[in-house]
Amino acid sequence: MSSAFPNIPRTVPKSQLGLLICVVLTSMANSCIMGYDSMMMNSLYSLPQFSGVFTLNSTTVGLYNASMWMGNILSCLVMQPCADKLGRRPTLVVSACICLIGVVLQSASQNIAMFIVSRIVLGFGVEVAGSAAPLLVGEISPTKYRGLMLGIYFTFFQAGSLVASGVTYGTQHIQSTWAWRVPSILQIVPSLISVIMLIFVPESPRFMVSRGKIDYARDTLKVANNIDNAEAELLIVEIEKAIALEANVSPWTSLFKTKPNIHRVLIVISLALMLELGGSSVVSYYLTFLLEQAGITSTKTILQINIIMSSWTFFWAVVGASCFDFTGRKLQSFVCMCGMIISFFVLGGFVKTYSGSDNTSGQYATVFWMGLFSAFYNFAFTPMNCLYPTEIFPYKTRASGTTVFKFFNCGFGLLASFVLSFGMDNLNWKFYILNAGYDILFLPCIYFLWVETSKCNLEDIAIKFGDLSVDFIESPHSESDVETEEVPGMVSEKN
């Protein structure tokens, strides 16, 4: 069987199912890294062994979380050059090495300064991987599976959260700093798994064509799409034509030259706002403080709730990713935003009523509303994180467009990490009412600005954004003719 595909590494599976499983496992590992960190920090705040070493107040907690986002933002400087120059796979290896350095520094931290620096380094490595991995997944995946595979990519953020909550629950009884150092050390495991899985995953066929390695790209397309040599050759020809067409197009300036691309940029900025300032950071980084506001202060109980919440959010994220092709991106996001708004309004009322109370039923009713908010958020916005930015941009601007999304996503995350700790501390229950109030502004944004992309190939998406006219797409051209007459930055769906 391997003799039929002599130009790709022998370790790469030669069946479509085997290859796609390896691609999904690689993406899962990368997504788990981010989820593990968020829940690990959330859980460490409840451990006396951690708070005894590092001072915990509104300022320091905000800084601990913000330092990760600082590294994320700095990584935007190298995302596009690394992905487009080094390739998707080498970029993931480099990011894993950076993560290793960050984990070593974090686990060995002796003071606040060392801990913050370690998290900046870790954030840099994590986000470099978070930009390259979706590109690799999207460019290898066949069209009919691309939506699901990209949608499910970020859902394993919640799987990482689940693992972190379980690990910290198990180490809580260690009567030394190893109670928090062990979870920190284990943070490198997803990166190691990702590097190991890359042995079984080929480089992006589009990237290999751009480097003149046609035979490698052809064999990759044959396996990934389960097609014969003739069909793969047609795809190669289309990719080569697209590369020639894009040769003089800048991946950056073209983002802001046309109305369709400006529209895309506005969409990813709005998505970044919803992801980071819509309320999700309360669960990701500040659930411990919310529970304390609700009157739940037992370390054991808080860690148990963390495990339950991680399982709950992971379930809804996976279900949500599976539903997008049936419900549509806009409808599912709009309905879930409505649910998030209602949940936060009610949550604010419950926090006001039962904060400092001994009413156990009231305390757990408060947790229920937080859980309901999380279900709505994860059903739509967790899988949208990597799905929507990757599919709305043409290939030439996909890496740069994703970088723009990551920059604003990290910037808003940095803002939230500072604002939330002070807001929750000073506003208490009013914080949730305020958050729900400005979430209402996201509804017209989804309805009027966003573009529905489900069940659409890239040509159809181009029509919706205004890149191509309906008359042109419906004209009796062959696929190759359409390919060569597309506007700069647009390529065939099969790329």
pTM: 0.74
pLDDT value at position 283?
Answer: 67
Residue 187 lies in a domain: yes
pLDDT tens per residue, range 65-107: 788 888 988 998 898 888 888 898 999 999 989 999 999 999 9
Residue 461 lies in a domain: no
pLDDT value at position 162?
Answer: 83
The residue type found at 217 is A
Q: Considering only CA atoms, which of 262, 274, 377, 244 is closest in space to residue 319?
A: 377
Please give the share of the chain, as a percent, with pLDDT higher than 70: 87
- Mean pLDDT over each residue of the chain, to the nearest integer: 82
Question: Cα separation of 181 and 171, whole Å?
Answer: 9
Q: Considering only CA atoms, which of 57, 79, 90, 146 is closest in space to residue 410?
A: 79
Say if residues 255 and 43 touch (Cβ distance below 8 Å): no
Residue 342 lies in a domain: yes
Residue 463 lies in a domain: no
pLDDT value at position 477?
Answer: 39
pLDDT tens per residue, range 23-47: 888 888 878 887 888 778 877 877 8
**Six token digits for residue 398:** 């996909």
pLDDT tens per residue, range 177-220: 899 899 999 988 988 888 899 999 999 988 898 888 999 999 99
Domain coverage including residue 397: 2-203+249-455
Say if residues 217 and 7 touch (Cβ distance below 8 Å): no
Q: Considering only CA atoms, which of 487, 384, 362 is closest in space to residue 134?
A: 384
pLDDT tens per residue, range 320-378: 888 887 888 899 999 999 999 999 999 888 888 877 667 778 777 888 888 899 999 99
Sorted by sequence, the CB contacts under 8 Å of residue 168 that are 6+ apart come out as 39, 40, 43, 44, 47, 180, 183, 303, 306
pLDDT value at position 286?
Answer: 60
Question: Cα separation of 405 and 267, whole Å?
Answer: 9
Structural domains counted in the chain: 1
Q: Considering only CA atoms, which of 373, 392, 438, 450 is closest in space to residue 412?
A: 438
CATH number of the structural domain spanning residue 196 = 1.20.1250.20
Question: Cα separation of 433 and 346, whole Å?
Answer: 8
Residue 297 lies in a domain: yes
Residue 359 lies in a domain: yes
Which of 160-174, 243-257, 394-408 has the least mean pLDDT?
Answer: 243-257
Residue 237 lies in a domain: no
Residue 291 lies in a domain: yes
pLDDT tens per residue, range 304-331: 887 888 788 889 988 988 888 788 889 9
Give the residue, 418 or 20, on which the prediction is more confident: 20
Say if residues 366 and 347 touch (Cβ distance below 8 Å): yes
Q: Considering only CA atoms, which of 223, 225, 205, 221 is closest in space to residue 213?
A: 205
